[in-house]
Structure 1
Amino acid sequence: MKIALHSICFGLALLTAGIASAHSRSGEGSHAGLPVPEISHGEMAVISDYHTRIMALASRAMDTSEPFRRVLNYAEIQYSYCLWGGVPGSVTDEESPFNECAHAYLAATKAVLMSLRDMPQEAAAAGEIASDVDADMVRRGLSLVTCRFSGEGFNTADVVGPRWSEIPLHPASMASLSGLAAILALGSFAVRRSLRLQSSE
């Protein structure tokens, strides 16, 4: 039953992401929000490994400002629109239809980390994460790794969705989403069957 409910939630997320993509930018967009500095391909590969730690620290931050909260909210929204980074290759493969939206949520995550370093109560923990990120960048030799989205800045007013039309041309994404669609269908069937059994009792 839990699997079925999870599948339904995922299906709703897919629908939301699809709607969001209709409002996502393709190189253009409103700039009424706050700017989010770009992130390199190498940086995002490392920041993605620290995403959970950064967001957990941000959620506990006490002395926050409106700009910080807006960028944090943008990071969370972008993460969900990018299907929580769960599609294979979304972070590492620049040809992935999910790579640009991964750049967006990880650029925002990096911006959140930089802001946390300036907060008195969170500075020490944020500095430790930043040091770990820097060490990993050097150890993995990713400092100079770039891709076509590496110079792209973002804006909190612009949602960046997956490039849905390119998914059929990207085998890893297509296989992943096809599998999830199958799970969704099975989950929906299981829920309907459970409801029928309950009604017959």
Structure 2
Amino acid sequence: MPGISARSGGAGFACRLIGALLLAVLLFVTSADAHRQSSGGDGSGAGIPIPNLTHGQMAVIADNMTAILAVADRQTGLDETARRLRAFVDWQYFFCFRGLVPGSLKDEESPFNECSHAYLAGTQALLLELRQTRGDRAEVRALVDKVGLDMIRNNAALVLCRFSSEAFNTADVVSPRWSEVPAHPPSLATFGGLAFLIGGALWLGLRRRTAPVSGPLPAG
């Protein structure tokens, strides 16, 4: 039924976002003093530079991200650079709540826009690095050509935002700008709603645990 389907979809989204929230908050608490947090890279502190990504390019990469990661995962000859870029994308994508917070991609004022730039810049760098792999280069070339055409059609290089000139590095994880959440209504509403859901679930759980158990009256 349409009503049930809509509720199920909303519940699924809420569950995914709550899961991402709880895990990301756990990570954030361990390193709350830094906005850019070192992930250690290869143990030497040196990471792989990742070129900047314009706002328009970010949208194109986001549309093709699933395909890019799928192609990367099918390759059997990934070099060290590609493996580290792939790991960075996973880590950064998770740390940015998997793009689930409204406005993360399209709103440059979103506290999650910079970290979205980071994982999408890493995804583009991964796609370009895949051209050096020993796997199915025909599949990689076809995807590179498709992304390139999408960039041209959308004038992606010309659509800029405040993070368009920022480069990244696999040794640094970019966390959301938490101090900007209260000033960004969509983000504030999202976390306010999640707090309400979590609080309601806890309250119901406690209520059920403390509710008296009814049973048959003792025989007189």
Which category describes the TM-score, using the shorter chain as reference length? 0.7 to 0.9
- Give, in whole Å, the separation in 2 of the partners of 1:168 and 1:56: 36
Residue from 1, 4, 18 that aligns with 2:28: 18
Alpha-carbon deviation of 1:107? 0.4
The Cα offsets for residues 123-162 of structure 1, whole Å up to 9 and x where unpaired, read as 2222222222222222233231111211111111111000
Alpha-carbon deviation of 1:102? 0.6
Summarize the alignment of residues 36-51 of structure 1 with structure 2, pairs less than 5 Å apart.
36-51=50-65
Instruction: Specify which structure has the bigger relative contact order, considering alpha-carbon pairs within 8 angstroms and separated by 6 or more residues.
Output: 1
Alignment check: 8 A CA contact 1:116 1:126 kept: yes
Give the equivalent residue in structure 1 for 2:66.
52
- Which AA in structure 1 matches 2:25? L
Q: What is the total number of aligned residue pairs between the two structures?
A: 195
* Sequence identity (%): 43
- The answer to whether structure 1 residue 147 and structure 2 residue 161 are counterparts is yes
The Cα offsets for residues 19-56 of structure 1, whole Å up to 9 and x where unpaired, read as 35543329xxx962111111111100110111111112
For 1:159, what is the secondary structure of its paired residue? strand
Distance 1:196 1:124, change over 3 A: farther
* TM-score calculated relative to the size of structure 2: 0.76
- The answer to whether structure 1 residue 66 and structure 2 residue 80 are counterparts is yes
Summarize the alignment of residues 180-195 of structure 1 with structure 2, pairs less than 5 Å apart.
180-188=194-202
Give the equivalent residue in structure 2 for 1:81.
95
For 2:158, what is the secondary structure of its paired residue? coil
Alpha-carbon deviation of 1:17? 4.8
The structure with the larger Rg is 2
Residue from 149, 154, 161 that aligns with 2:175: 161
- In structure 2, runs of 5+ residues without a counterpart are 1-11, 212-220
Give the equivalent residue in structure 2 for 1:126.
140
Question: What is the CA RMSD across the aligned residues, in angstroms?
Answer: 3.0
Alpha-carbon deviation of 1:196? 8.3
- Give, in whole Å, the separation in 1 of the partners of 2:206 and 2:16: 14
